[in-house]
Structure 1
């Protein structure tokens, strides 16, 4: 099969690899119909995630058609079209029983924190991902969800990570009716977080970024206010001036470890790797929220040290919530929202690129060229 192949930082290519096969009775093999490049994939691409091995295939956002199943699979059959949550989870461990599917204890040998994730290095279990023609799907009776017959595949693929993560970002903010919500980051997750904040009762939504095309898009798509941080001297003071001197009720960090904005954070966290990323957006969130406010963190950071102003959070009496999205938990509600026309996920897709051109796709997405917001990869032989 043809698959994305990691050759080292900033070096990926399309290459032929052996087809995946059934390795365990509860496996399925899925022919990929759509896969996405996620902002989290860029952390791998840029060499920031430990134990990302040469030859790995990335891709934790994909949908496809079941072509083979193991003898233990009961809920799927060949020919089923499925969306596959990025979490690989068992469904029965202590954490899965509490619907913390991103924290499954049985699908990652390195399960100190996160469960298994497709295509996300050996720190997340070493599973190959879906930027390929075929992918092995473990625990196939638990994770994959049948795509409703009337649903567009472009909507379905965004239900595997981006939309549920944005939705959970808003949910973890514990938004009350009329709250002011500030979202740091106008990438796909931030865009969906802003859109979903209204569903939880927000009275005002402000999105912060520095890429004008993305700010213009989220302003239209999520009907929100926007703020370009390039024109801001002090983020906390600016947000307080916009909120009667108090600060936002809820701040969402939808950026993570490669944030722009602070030279020192970027130098120590991205260039020198002395921290687990540049926590600029998290600093802004803690300092811009009001006393007694809520912080929701869905931006991805590394598993090691980060210098964050925890003293400010304590003294302000903040509530911080964070986690990998439990995709499966959100799917029934999000499918309802899509079917009712409340959210059109596919509108954020700006580029559809053949899998054969994956190197160019990563370059374009990484450098935010050509107005790129979300890139979908189309495997050979699959119609757009």
Structure 2
């Protein structure tokens, strides 16, 4: 699945990946997925893509080739999930468990430094800013630092139960964990896409008193309700009034922004302002959901932001953020920090990640399914592709 410009994803033949470094491995992909953050590339809201870049950062499969410095950790035939965050395992950040800000895995670190001030980790299939690594929506993928960038998985569980260890399951889990949820807390989740769904179930599993889910897509709200959340459809009722009613007028202690830079909402002045500025390239990110969270959260509350942001945003209510004493936790997911525990929970039946899958198709059907997923047609919540 190759990127060729805005709304132009093609399924085409590309050269097979090869071992380029002694710590590499090559994986035959058995399952991969389209992620909500792939849509930011599809819509061309994040800079740094070049024509022909292979998409995708959620994949798993079988090891078919191993570089000499990874043979202590991997062998041909191993079944593995590939985390979307590429980590060396030995730099100061990796040693602290901060795998998504690995200091060594971004081979385009100078570009990241210009954009972010300091480099972050390399990511699969996600722009030149994060290394320009070819992604996993393909028959094969080269994995750098493969001795550390893998999760070995058992043979007795289906791909569908394991695939999301690559990203959205640990992303939703981290979003909830970094809130420090207590049994008296109300947790409100903005955005009921795949990450939001896993964040909801994680918050429930971590013992929140109640979980509130905000979206406008009926199928997603139904899925959230099935996971234990109280749904709010922001197109048919007031989010503020409903949240006030559920929290005695005080607001939720903990909030999750699982929307990110493409907040879709109509009839709000701030949203119209964002769209106008984005159209003339005066800002990159639409942040209606984040503004609403800052306004509605209880003072001294905590915001967790798994939703992806790409650049610059305007009209951030810093006065409310500061004066209310709000803590903000952000970041790409430190995937490998969570995968051992989450794999155990899957094996024990605490979590069955397959609930989020609505579409399974051949890789060749991917271009059409990008559009289906983006437009939320046909009840689409999560797409799994089979190379």
> 1:53 maps to which residue?
50
Closer, same or farther in 2 for the Cα pair 1:137/1:322, shift >3 Å?
A: same
Whole-angstrom CA distance in 2 between matches of 1:77 and 1:55: 30
1:116 alignment partner in structure 2:
122
Give the TM-score of the pair, scaled to structure 2. 0.94
Gaps of 5+ in 1: 380-384
Q: CA deviation at 1:151?
A: 2.0
User: What is the total number of aligned residue pairs between the two structures?
Assistant: 374
* CA deviation after TM superposition for structure 1 residue 335, in Å: 1.1
Determine the structure 2 residue equivalent to 1:166: 172
State the Cα deviation string for residues 163-185 of structure 1 (Å, max 9, x = none): 00000000111111121000000
1:205 aligns with 2:205: no
The answer to which structure has the higher strand fraction is 1
> What aligned pairs does 1:103-142 form with structure 2 within 5 A after superposition?
103-108=101-106, 109-110=108-109, 111=112, 112-142=118-148
Check 1:269–1:248 CA distance in 2 against 1; reply closer, same or farther (3 A cut): farther
Q: Take 2:274 and 2:230, find their aligned partners in 1: how far apart are those partners?
A: 27
Match of 1:226 among 221, 227, 231: 231
1:339 aligns with 2:343: no
User: Structure 1 residue 364: deviation in Å?
Assistant: 1.0
Contact 1:269 / 1:277 at 8 angstroms: preserved in 2? Answer: no
User: Following superposition of structure 1 onto structure 2, how do residues 20-169 of structure 1 map, counting pairs within 5 Å?
Assistant: 20-73=17-70, 74-108=72-106, 109-110=108-109, 111=112, 112-169=118-175
**How far 1:237 moved relative to its partner?**
4.4
Choose the corresponding residue for 1:356, options 357, 364, 369: 364
Distance 2:277 2:62 in 1: 40
- 1:246 corresponding residue in structure 2: 250
Tell me the distance in 2 between the aligned counterparts of 1:309 and 1:190: 23
Distance 1:266 1:157, change over 3 A: farther
Matched, 1:15 2:15: no
Q: SS of 1:182's equivalent?
A: strand
- The answer as to whether partners of 1:90 and 1:106 remain within 8 angstroms in 2 is yes
CA distance in structure 2 between the aligned counterparts of 1:307 and 1:51, rounded to whole angstroms: 25
In structure 2, distance between residues paired with 1:65 and 1:273: 43
Find the residue that maps to 1:311 and give its secondary structure.
helix
Distance 2:189 2:339 in 1: 22
Q: TM-score under structure 1 normalisation?
A: 0.95
- SS of 1:295's equivalent in the other structure is strand
User: What RMSD over aligned residues (CA atoms) do the two structures have, in Å?
Assistant: 1.3
Change (3 A) 1:306 1:61: farther
Gap change, CA 1:178 and 1:31, over 3 Å in 2: same
1:276 CA drift (Å):
3.0
